[in-house]
Structure 1
């Protein structure tokens, strides 16, 4: 039995362009158009899950995916930093940002630590490994990072060193008690596949 989990990162949003801690804003026009152009490019799946964030829900809809909301796949809770830019927070709280980026157990923003996020996503992966077939999940980039860290047994210190571009697919395939990884590939548009 092989379980495949395709993690799709959301298309570009205004918040992402501004390096803003997610404020649950919508996709920007270019991101929505790119997602619509990639509709139909994913293989069929036994299960489709969607992170509760607006940009993940909008990306799934633009891709033509009718997914089940999955609160356990929510992005990292950044507490009181939500909606602010990294530049703003860095200027106001440089030590806190430094701690947050280097200590996986740190949550100076009053939200969730990287360790907690990785644990939450790790539990979902453990459940997914027991399922046969393909799962497609449209999730925030930090959920993709947490899944890769957990699947490969990487130290939590590498979390922030994993880049997850918008509208890419990272594939995990599980069999024989372990996961294999296929790194983020862009979703093709019909012009690229034809």
Structure 2
């Protein structure tokens, strides 16, 4: 049976603007306004889920979704780097950052490796049951969306670093375990100046 999974990246917040490793920061007022404005562009679905972070749950609420938290959609566990800025960690631990970005199995921060993230998200994706009711719509952190795309397309894990996921963008995956089609990057908001 064909499965339809639609992943929406959460709205902007202060941590994302500051290039911080996620942590668990809520939406700021601008992010909440953006999510409310994007709500009319959401596709219909039968099931609404959300990553358990405050940012994902806040985005789901602002989008008007009665989403239940899904632990498998938890953002990337970056251990002791969580909440810190990338430039700060890079200056303090350049070799660790280089290892983390160069080796998908490395986890110098004490959290989850990139390979483990892709495997976790891929396991969830392959386990989503087929639905006749419009599929699954989930608000998920950008790293989770990127990991889903890498898994669905059977890309090398290092391809993760070549994918960008902007706030409030819809990524659609259709298929089933072992055979997915991916539609990347449909913004839920009108471009500026439109």
Tell me whether the two structures share a fold, i.e. TM-score over 0.5: yes
Partners of 1:119 and 1:184 in 2: how far apart? 22
Deviations 1:123-146 (A, max 9, x none): 111112644441001000000011
The Cα of 1:30 is off from its aligned counterpart by 1.5
CA contact (8 A) 1:38 1:188 kept: yes
Partners of 2:177 and 2:103 in 1: how far apart? 32
Correspondence for 1:41: 41
Deviations 1:81-137 (A, max 9, x none): 011100110000000001111111000000000111111111111112644441001
The Cα of 1:176 is off from its aligned counterpart by 8.8
Alignment CA distance shift 1:30-1:171 (3 Å): same
Q: CA RMSD in A?
A: 1.8
Correspondence for 1:153: 154
Gaps of 5+ in 2: none
CA contact (8 A) 1:129 1:174 kept: no
The Cα of 1:175 is off from its aligned counterpart by 5.2
TM-score, normalisation: structure 2: 0.93
Correspondence for 1:11: 11
Alignment CA distance shift 1:177-1:106 (3 Å): closer
Structure 2 counterparts to residues 81-96 of structure 1, below 5 A: 81-96=81-96
The Cα of 1:168 is off from its aligned counterpart by 0.3
Deviations 1:17-38 (A, max 9, x none): 0001112111122211110111
Correspondence for 1:142: 143
Gaps of 5+ in 1: none
TM-score, normalisation: structure 1: 0.93
Correspondence for 1:28: 28
Structure 2 SS opposite 1:38: helix
**Alignment length (residue pairs):** 191
Correspondence for 1:110: 110
